[in-house]
Amino acid sequence: MSDAETTGTARTYDVVVIGAGPVGENVADRTRAAGLSTVVVESGLVGGECSYWACEPSKALLRPVLARADARGIPGLREAVSGPLDVQAVLAHRDSMSSHWDDSPQVAWLESVSVDLIRGHGRLDGPKRVTVTTPEGDTIALTARHAVAVTTGTAAAVPDLPGLATTRHWTSREATSAARVPGRLAIVGGGVVAVEMATAWQALGSQVTVLVREDGLLHRMEPFAGQLVTDALREAGADVRFGVSATEVKRADGDDGEVTLFLDDGSTLVADEVLFAIGRTPQTGDIGLESVGLVPGQWLQVDDACQVEAVPGGWLYAVGDVNGRALLTHQGKYQARMAGTAIGARAAGEPADDAAWGRHVATADTSAVPQVVFTHPEVASVGLTTMEAQRSGRRIDVVDYDLAHLAGSHQYTEGYRGTARMLVDADRGTVVGVTFAGPGVAELLHSATIAIVSEVPVERLWHAVPAFPTISEVWLRLLETYRG
């Protein structure tokens, strides 16, 4: 055990973290680096959703799909990849990337940085107090000298549909960990999880049908991105339907029969599995929020240091997805680094108005959130979309460029299709939003993120010379288009 005070089943630490996903791990790492004794409470696997049911397994499923799609556009290589994917090899790779759902390496890492782990369900029990119910039924009372950090993340949202509560169905967890390929897969939703899983399972052999309530995929991103993904899914054989919702679900013969979805247009859809990918909900329903005057089940509203605003004293932090600011693992880890450093600074007596305090706030959550959708084609975005920029009242110049015109795109794959959009603040002359959609664009995103975060004047970007022939030459073409 690290430097904690222990009396029977009561223990005192400087910091108590509820949740051992990547966000909780990073908070703990930073507070330990500040010399604070830290314990993490976790009821599931150390490493959390990202390691076992989200980022790692989903990208392991998608990487062979995207690599094959790119290879099929390369002369001399397309013939070698004309056959189907080796499904068992892909699933085995997925299992390996998920550590076969064994968290012992993550536990070893916590031990290596002297962070204690208590397995069990943690609940707030008043200011700076957490009660843990262990799997054995024992109770451990924890007290924090300085801070409690809630990093419990989110769970898949499920609609209140007739029949669904008693019908076996998939959420993102089942979609990323399934041991076999369903013959027919229905997907309800049109966001990131929906399109990524449609891309993966269609390529692995499912006949995929996507039911989208909105009039396009990825409706929170630039419309051209969703259209390119729609076109690619349909070309791959998927059935993508817009403006339709499920109203009822039934599965024949218990859990093993086919599932029927009744749709609001009066039709039905029969599938072997159905995935609901309609969003996320905060895992705050049973963590004792009522003991500190908060409402169970709510998102936890925080300031830029991730301190919960409605709780006095500055001791309660909510970090990562649970605060609803940016539901992405990399943003949660970024918040964790900021919050962990802030906790250490406060514990050391650093005044909140100190000039250095700006280092401890998660400002990127509102100005430069990067996101990649690992479909074919890839979609990568950071900063504002056109609609968001217009709503903000800014004067915005919208600059589009067809990625197919780049020499680097032709080198990447034949028949390249893609679009780049750059948004320029017309008054300040800086980039405030970028979206790329096309094969291989994910690695362009960090340059866009740096441009936005650093507020680099567009005129200065002329001196950041892209290598030829690469897709990154799009930066030069966007500037040329902007100059006109």
Question: CA neighbours within 13 Å on the CB side: how many for 418?
Answer: 30
* Statement to judge: residues 291 and 274 lie in one domain: no
| Residues 168, 251 within the same domain | yes
Helix axes 329-347, 22-33, angle to 10 degrees: 30
**Average pLDDT of the chain?**
95
Q: How far is CA 401 from CA 17, 418, 437, 477, in A?
A: 46, 9, 11, 7
Query: Are 151 and 171 contained in the same domain?
Result: no
**Same-domain check for residues 246 and 190:** yes
Of the three residues 365, 386, 412, the one that is the final residue of a domain is 365
Note the pLDDT of residue 360: 67
Question: Under a CB-based contact definition with an 8 Å cutoff, are residues 321 and 333 in contact?
Answer: no
What does each C-alpha distance from 464 to 455, 458, 467 come to in angstroms? Answer: 14, 10, 10
Residue 54 lies in a domain: no
Q: Please report where in the chains the tokens 């790692």 appear, as a residue.
A: 56
Give the pLDDT of residue 366.
Answer: 80
Domain interval for residue 129: 5-47+103-155+282-365
Residues 218 and 305 in one domain: no
CA separation for the pair 475, 463 (Å, rounded): 11
Which is it for strands 10-18 and 38-42: parallel, antiparallel or unpaired? parallel
pLDDT at 38: 98
For residue 459, the cross-strand partners are: none
What does the pLDDT read at residue 353? 53
Query: Are the C-beta atoms of 127 and 315 separated by less than 8 Å?
Result: yes
Residue showing tokens 């990547």 = 22
Query: Do residues 170 and 274 share a domain?
Result: yes
CA dihedral 350, 356, 362, 366 (to 10 degrees): 140
Residue 255: what pLDDT? Answer: 72
Q: Which of 268, 199, 272 lies closest to 231 in space, CA to CA?
A: 199
- Residue 103 C-beta-side C-alpha neighbours within 13 Å: 21
Helix 87-97 vs helix 55-71: angle between axes, to the nearest 10 degrees? 140
The one-character DSSP state at 103 is -
Question: What pLDDT score does 254 carry?
Answer: 72
Report if residue 86 sits inside a domain. Answer: no
Q: Which structure tokens are listed for 364?
A: 């990127």
**What share of residues in the chain are helix, strand, coil (percent, to 5)?**
35, 25, 40
Kindly state whether residue 75 falls inside one of the protein's structural domains: no
Residues linked to residue 382 through DSSP beta bridges, in sequence order: 434
| Conformation bin of residue 297: beta by default, left when phi > 0, alpha when psi is -120 to 50 | left
Number of structural domains (the chain) is 3
Note whether 343 and 427 are same-domain residues.
no
pTM: 0.94
Domain boundary among the residues 365, 386, 418 is at: 365
Q: What is the Cα Rg of the chain in Å?
A: 24
68 belongs to a structural domain: no
Pairing of strands 419-425, 38-42: unpaired
* Shared domain check, 121 and 28: yes
Domain boundary among 278, 293, 310: 278
The secondary structure of residue 357, as a DSSP letter, is G
Closest CA to 442 of 394, 384, 373, 386: 373
Residue 305 sits in the same domain as residue 340: yes
Task: Name residues of the chain where pLDDT drops below 70.
Answer: 1-4, 6-8, 352-360, 484
Question: Could you tell me the CATH number of the domain that includes residue 257?
Answer: 3.50.50.60
Closest to 48 (Cα-Cα) out of 28, 21, 23: 21
Measured in whole angstroms, the distance separating CA 313 from the mean position of its chain's CA atoms is 31
CB–CB of 14/91 below 8 Å?
Answer: no
| pLDDT for the residue 52 | 97
pLDDT at 359: 59
Q: Identify the pLDDT of residue 1.
A: 44
In a domain, 91, yes or no: no
- At 78 the three-state DSSP class reads helix
Is residue 198 domain-resident?
Answer: yes
Q: Is 12 helix (H, G, I), strand (E, B) or coil?
A: strand
Count, in order, helices (H) and strands (E) of the chain.
15, 22
> Does one domain contain both 274 and 301?
no
Please report the pLDDT score of residue 354 as a whole number. Answer: 47
Q: What is the pLDDT of residue 367?
A: 83
Decide: residue 35, CB within 10 A, 0-12 exposed, 13-18 middle, 19+ buried: exposed
Residue 82 maps to a domain? no
Looking up residue 425, the CATH number of its domain turns out to be: 3.30.390.30
Cα-flanking dihedrals φ and ψ of residue 217, to 5°? -80, 155
* Pair (342, 392) in one structural domain: no
pLDDT tens for 24-43 read 999 999 999 999 999 999 99
Confirm whether 463 is domain-assigned: yes
Q: Compute the distance between CA of residue 125 and CA of residue 99 in angstroms, rounded to an integer.
A: 34
In terms of domains, do 218 and 345 share one?
A: no
Distance from first CA to last CA of the chain, Å, rounded?
A: 65
Dihedral over alpha carbons 385, 390, 393, 398 (to 10 degrees): 80
pLDDT of residue 212: 98
Nearest to residue 341, comparing CAs of 147, 174, 177, 117? 147
Find, among 55, 71, 13, 347, the residue nearest to 203 by Cα. 71
